[in-house]
Amino acid sequence: MPTIKDVAKKAGVTVTTVSRVLNNRGYISEVTRKKVYEAMKELNYQPNELARSLYRKKSYLIGLLIPNVSHPFFAELTSFIEYYAYQEGYKILLCNSGQDSSKEKEYIDMLKRHQVDGIIIGSHTLEAEQYLNVKLPIVAIDRYYSNIPYVASDNYKGGILATKLLIQKGCKKIAHISGPLILNTPANNRYKAFKDVATQEGVEHYVVETKLNSFEIEEFKKIVRDLFKEHPDIDGIFASGDLIAASVISVAKELNKKIPQDLKIVGYDDINVANLVVPSLTTVRQPIKEIARKAIELILRQIDGEKVEKENILPITLIERETT
């Protein structure tokens, strides 16, 4: 790999001049500039970003810590985050914590060692202490913690709309399949909204919880099968995620339940899969692209030393398709 010295030698100037050309600083004649550019091209020179980062104390790296990219929601989110980061000249260091809090801790330390300029965290197991002694800019996605700013969709409203839709469409016995409720996350507002609406409307209702580590479709299916075993006459399900909702469709087929006649389903997220399954999923659309954009915006503003709002709630939309 050629260094700035090789370029200087080839162009017949000093490293100072090359550095000036690279950074557009000081006075440079067009002739010299051209010579330097030509030398760089000939040598196929790429400035060593490590050395620059070291000096500037800025790496243009953002750490993205999520449970798992293989989950469509995080995959889509990651894609948009990468998109916006790239537009601003930042790069993404990808970390899958696998919902394992020790791996999460290790990853945060690793990201610090690599001098990332900020961390976007969409992972859920971490305890208080580990966040707090990180002085880096952080943005959480769908997660509360102390004074760390977070981005989330309007989960409570989403839960209201979903539950109301089921009742309005005539469901008499409804269930909610929630994420892990032990964690204090914004997503739990979906659960709260479900409870609130069902109680208020006087509709019989149940809640089942998915486990912390289950991203496996077979596990989701098992949960749904167990639910129907206990309550075969459930006629409406609000699932806290489209993947779970799709699993409900799959199990409903096994049990010969007609959708939406015998069973109505509302998901959450509106990932691409929601429009791919048959029947297509009615779901609460999270603005994934906007969540990504907001997260990047909040990180960059913190990197620039700005204070940012702690709460960043983005609007949801109820998308009615064929399962209701």
Question: Contact residues for its own copies (CB under 8 A)?
Answer: 1, 44, 46-51, 53-54, 59, 64, 68-72, 75-76, 78-79, 82-83, 86, 91-96, 109-110, 112-115, 133, 135, 217-218, 243, 246-247, 249-250, 253, 272-273, 275-280
CB under 5 to 8 A by kind: which of DNA, its own copies, none does 24 bind? none
Using CB under 7 A as the binding rule, whether residue 87 contacts DNA is answered as no
Beta bridge partners of 308: none
Give Cα 270 to chain centroid, integer Å.
Answer: 13
Rounded least distance, CB 23 to DNA, Å: 4
- Contacts with DNA, 20-49, as mask; x by CB under 7 A: x-xx-xxxxxxxxx------------xxx-
**How far is the C-alpha of 185 from the C-alpha of 57, rounded, in Å?**
34
String of DSSP letters for 23-48 = HT-S---HHHHHHHHHHHHHHT----
Q: What are phi and psi of 71, to 5 degrees?
A: -75, 125
Q: Which residue has the tokens 């989403």?
A: 158
275 binds, among its own copies, DNA, none (CB under 5 to 8 A by kind): its own copies
Contacts of residue 252, Cβ cutoff 8 Å, sequence gap at least 6 = 259, 262, 263, 265
d(CA 241, CA 267): 5
Closer residue to its own copies, CB minimum distance, 87 or 168:
87
Give exposure, 245-264, as e/b (b: 16+ Cβ within 10 Å): bbbbbebbeeeebebbeebb
Q: Which residues pair with 63 in a beta bridge?
A: 93, 119
Our finding on whether 58 is near DNA (CB under 7 A) is no
Q: Which of 41, 44, 55, 135 binds DNA (CB under 7 A)?
A: 55
Q: Does 317 bind DNA (CB under 7 A)?
A: no
Question: What amino acid is encoded at 130 in this protein?
Answer: Q
Between residues 16 and 200, which has the closer beta carbon with respect to DNA?
Answer: 16
Task: Please report how close the Cβ of residue 2 comes to DNA at its closest, in angstroms.
Answer: 8
Could you tell which of DNA, its own copies, none binds residue 213, using a CB distance below 5 to 8 A set by kind? none
310 binds, among DNA, its own copies, none (CB under 5 to 8 A by kind): none
Report the C-alpha gap between 218 and 213 in whole angstroms: 13
Tell me the three state secondary structure of residue 68: coil
The one among 9, 19, 101, 103 contacting DNA by CB under 7 A: 19
Token pair for 148 = 């760390």
For residue 182, how many other CB atoms are within 10 A of its CB?
10
In the complex, the smallest distance separating the C-beta of residue 50 from DNA, rounded to whole angstroms, is: 7
The Cα 73–Cα 12 span in angstroms is 53
Q: Does 110 bind DNA (CB under 7 A)?
A: no
41 contact choice in its own copies, DNA, none (CB below 5 to 8 Å, kind-dependent): none
The first and second tokens of residue 323, run together, are 């399962």
Whether omega for the bond prior to residue 279 falls within 30 degrees of 0, making it cis, is yes
Residue 31 binds: one of DNA, its own copies, none (C-beta under 5 to 8 A by kind): DNA
Considering the complex, state which of residue 46 and residue 146 has its C-beta at the smaller distance from its own copies: 46
Residues in the chain: 324
Locate tokens 């603005």: which residue? 287
Please, which residue, 54 or 255, has the CB nearer to DNA? Answer: 54
Q: Which does 16 bind (CB under 5 to 8 A by kind): its own copies, DNA, none?
A: DNA
In the complex, what is the shortest distance from the CB of residue 185 to its own copies, in angstroms, rounded to a whole number?
A: 22
Q: Which of 41, 42, 56, 199 touches DNA by CB under 7 A?
A: 56
Residues that bind DNA (CB under 7 A): 1, 3-5, 12-20, 22-23, 25-33, 46-48, 50-52, 54-57
